[in-house]
Amino acid sequence: MAASLVVLISGSGSNLQSIIDATQNGILKGKAVVSHVLSNRKNAYGLERASKAGIPTSVHPLLPYKKEYGNEIGRNKYDTDLAERIIALKPSLVVCAGWMHILSPEVLGPLEKQKIGIINLHPALPGAFNGIHAIERAFEAAREGKITKTGAMVHWVITEVDGGKPILIQEVPIESSDTVETLEDKIHGVEHKILVEAIHNIVSATSDS
C-alpha cells in the first residue's frame, strides 16, 4: 500500500510539485501519494498546484489565532490545532516543503506520540546556516572568503530549528561567478532531487520493515 504524505507549504510549491511529479511518473509512483496539502497562507500558489493534481487542500492561518487569543496563547492554540488537523489526516509521513512556521512541541509532541514522522528541507549544510535566509548568508560568507561550498539537506524535524538528524545531504560549490540568484537556482535544483529521494528512502524502509 502506498504511503500517505501530508505536505505543509507556505509559498509557490515548487518542491511540492517535484513530489507530485515523482508520485505520478517518478520514483515514488506506487510507493507514495500526496493525500493532503496544508498551507498557513491562503494565497500560496502551491495550493493551486495541488488542486490541479486533484489533491485535497486546506488553509490554517495563524493571524486569526493571534487576534483572538494574543500572540503567545494564540501561537500555542494554533500549534495544538495544527497537530490535531495533521493527526486526523492519518499520514504515513509529514513533509515540510517550504513551510515557513516553526513547529513547536505543541505540534511535534502529539505527532511523536502517534508515531508520525516529519521531515523538512533546508537550503544549507548541517549546522552551517540554520534558520532563515540561509542561501543569502552562505553567499555572503563565500564573498568574505570563509566558505567555498554550501548545500541542501533533508532532516527529521525537532524543536531546534533545522537541527534534526540529516537524512540526505548534498553539497553545492559556490563559484566566484555566482550571484545570489544563480546560487539559489543551483540549490533549488538540488532540493527538488534530494527531497524526493529522502521520501523514497523513508517509505521504502518502512514498507520493508
Residue numbers annotated as active site: 122
**What are 10's three cell numbers?**
507556505
Q: Which helix (H) or strand (E) holds 135?
A: helix 134-143
Neighbours of 31 (CB within 10 A): 19
Helix, strand, or coil (residue 7): strand
Q: Does an H or E element contain 37, and which?
A: strand 32-39
Tell me the three state secondary structure of residue 129.
coil
Nearest one of 7, 30, 1 to 19, comparing CA atoms: 7
At 153, is the secondary structure helix, strand, or coil?
Answer: strand
